Amino acid sequence: MTDTSGPAFPISQVKTDRDGEVYSDVIDGMTLRDYFAAKSLDALIQQEFLDGSYQHVCPGSAHGIASVAYLIADAMLEARKS
* Residue 4 counted as domain residue: no
- Beta bridge partners, 30, equal none
Domain hosting 28: range is 11-80
User: What is the per-residue DSSP string for 15-70?
Assistant: EE-TTS-EEEEEE--SBHHHHHHHHHHHHHHHHHHHHT---S--HHHHHHHHHHHH
- 71 in a domain, yes or no? yes
pTM of the predicted model, to two decimals? 0.65
Q: Can you give the pLDDT at residue 39?
A: 93
Supply the pLDDT for residue 7.
80
Torsion of CA 55, 56, 60, 61, to 10 degrees: 40
Indicate the number of domains in the chain: 1
Each residue's pLDDT tens digit in the chain (82 positions)? 677 777 878 788 888 889 988 888 888 888 899 999 999 988 887 776 666 555 555 556 778 888 889 999 999 999 999 8
Half-sphere exposure of residue 22: CA atoms within 13 angstroms, side-chain side:
3
Can you give the length of the chain in residues? Answer: 82
